[in-house]
Amino acid sequence: MGQRRCAGLFATVRRAVPRARLFRMRRFFPVAAFLAVACLLGCAAVATAQDNSASVIASQSSVAPGATSAVSRAPVPSEAPAQDLVFEGMGSYGNYRIFAGGENAHLYTGGLEYDRNSWGTFLKARMDYSAEVLPVMILNEPAVTDIWGDTKGPGRKILYGIGLTPAGLRMTWREKRAIKPWFAVKGGVLAFDQKVLTRASTYEDFTLQESAGMMVRVSPRYDLRLGLFGDFHFSNGFATNVNPGLDVMNYNVGIVYHLGSRRSEVARAR
């Protein structure tokens, strides 16, 4: 089912893009707004469920010692796992040559990331499931290239796109401290309004991101996230006869909002 949905998404993008470049800014932002609002509504629903769970715990913990045994034996729900919502932005300052040979291109993104402590701890790090939606993607690349994406002439051009990253892992150390190192790896897909890097490529690409940095506590509810080192890779996985790709050196900055029970946990840590 998931594969058919992804195929349908790519088919929709392929049909839409040739029509007057659908993702140009005036038509691109409604799609971006829809994705952002959907993500916010989902996170709001999660936060509401957490608050209800917390209120149940509080009401059961306040039962007087002389209360009936039936009430005293009532099971106490476990606390909801820590969850974060990150409002993030990324900028590039160069290109690696790790998984791809592309260069002389710059990528800028903006979007929302959701993190949930789904796998406890490992190596003293909190292990989170991570996913993100990137309604803003801007790629500045050479206007004239060969089939591999190498620069062959003067001029630049701007591509606009969106990205979706449904699979990711974030590791966070020193969870109750004011400064918390973190490492993340994520994978997903993106789509642009023009073929990327060369006319022999595709509108859609697969992505792989690795990044590391630190989060600085601002308040019990908010952290400032600083991504110091990162690699944003994308390529088409030989969906055509050539597979031009790019590895972007990047920095990222984000505001981390702690959902539900995480706020009380940080408050107790202080």
pLDDT per residue over 129-143, tens digit each? 999 999 999 999 988
If one compares 16 and 82, the residue with the highest pLDDT of the two is: 82
Half-sphere exposure of 64 (CA within 13 A, CB side): 3
- 74 in a domain, yes or no? no
Q: Is residue 98 situated within a structural domain? A: yes
pLDDT tens by residue, 64-96: 444 444 444 555 456 678 999 999 999 998 888
- 65, part of any domain: no
Q: Which residues are CB-neighbours of 146 under 8 A, at least 6 positions away?
A: 152, 198
Residue 193 domain boundaries? 2-59+79-269
Length of the chain: 270
Give the span between the Cα atoms of 59 and 220, in whole angstroms.
23
- For the chain, strand residue ranges (E) read 83-96, 106-116, 121-122, 125-142, 156-173, 179-192, 204-217, 222-235, 245-259
210 lies in some domain: yes
Q: Where is pLDDT greater, at 78 or 241?
A: 241
pTM here?
Answer: 0.70
**How many separate domains does the chain show?**
1
Residue 70 inside a domain? The answer is no
CATH number of the domain encompassing residue 202? 2.40.160.20
**Res. 40: pLDDT tops 50:** no
Name the pLDDT band for 122 (thresholds 50, 70, 90). Answer: very high
Q: With respect to residue 20, please indicate whether it lies within any of the assigned structural domains.
A: yes
Q: Is residue 64 part of a domain?
A: no
